[in-house]
Structure 1
């Protein structure tokens, strides 16, 4: 079972997943690219989920997870690591921070009313210490999520294409064109899940046509749209 709620940290989401049938591996669903990074806790371990460009399928039997999903582009400043160094990975927090510090944080999560709240408290404390989020990054996400072309977005933000690409690698883990594709995928999935026909979904999400939507879903989600929604 999956549950989520808005975090007290602006733009973030706190979530928990518990396996209903731990012996049933068919219930494991891929994690799809969404432009975000997560701080995770499971079975006494603190991990970081880097930005994805392909579906990620958790290994091993289903188990309980808790996490805080950061708004796109905000996690690297909190973690102190450029996003492109974590692209497509799940790494132990001890690979990024001193082991003694991580042990204290793990104990704090385990002592919290629930792990998700413990992770949220850690993120809030870290956000209070870190520099404020770059407002340009939020504007960038808003522009691309509104289907504006990358070149037009760069011009609107007043930065060159190369500088935009460098900043995107640091903040999101990949360039602005990939970020635009990921955001478009999420728009399309939201529309299709609400019952919008596929052809209309493609048009409203910013695809050239329905075959374009189908190709992008296969590339980014690893399965046809109908199979994805069926899960």
Structure 2
């Protein structure tokens, strides 16, 4: 496994300590391989083979990201995520799903998962997606010094704080990255393909409806009870404009 380019530079937590990842799967050989690949990145890895053990490990280690198998011996990955996020609402989650289980992939994203990888997968793919997700959630050098402002909407790329009309808005890591992309391109119509490429950093296997899903999440937080800023351009994509 070879790391190249700035995108592969070491990631750390904001305080400089190693990234913490929780890998959850009842296949020991798989978690051992994942652990090896993550430790090569300089990350601290905790593993769990059941939902109960995963919830306990998350409580003890407070991971920066979780790689979570959808099918576990005691309860499924969605329930694991629900229990963990009851205590740590913003932790990013990548689901591991069966190759043909489309309902698992869509179900995981609808429930708030940030990404998914289908089995069998390459370790390089998992690491690449984890790195992209960690950058979106604010790890390491991904921060910048700029504040984006569109109308009464502001986004601080350093603190990850978002406000509209002075009211703070809580976003997940993926919602934040989607809004950042929209705010960096105000009044510009962005296609679903452009959004997938920029926010998810890969071809989503034709599942472009994930863009619609996350646009709906943003609208509920950004536009609810306010003049709308996020607009659908039928057949073209989405555009963010100042209200009024």
Q: Does TM, normalized by the shorter one, top 0.5? A: no
Q: What TM-score comes out, normalization by structure 1 length? A: 0.24
- The structure that is helix-richer by fraction is 1
**Relative contact order, higher structure (CA 8 A, sep 6+):** 1
- The structure that is strand-richer by fraction is 2
Q: What TM-score comes out, normalization by structure 2 length? A: 0.23
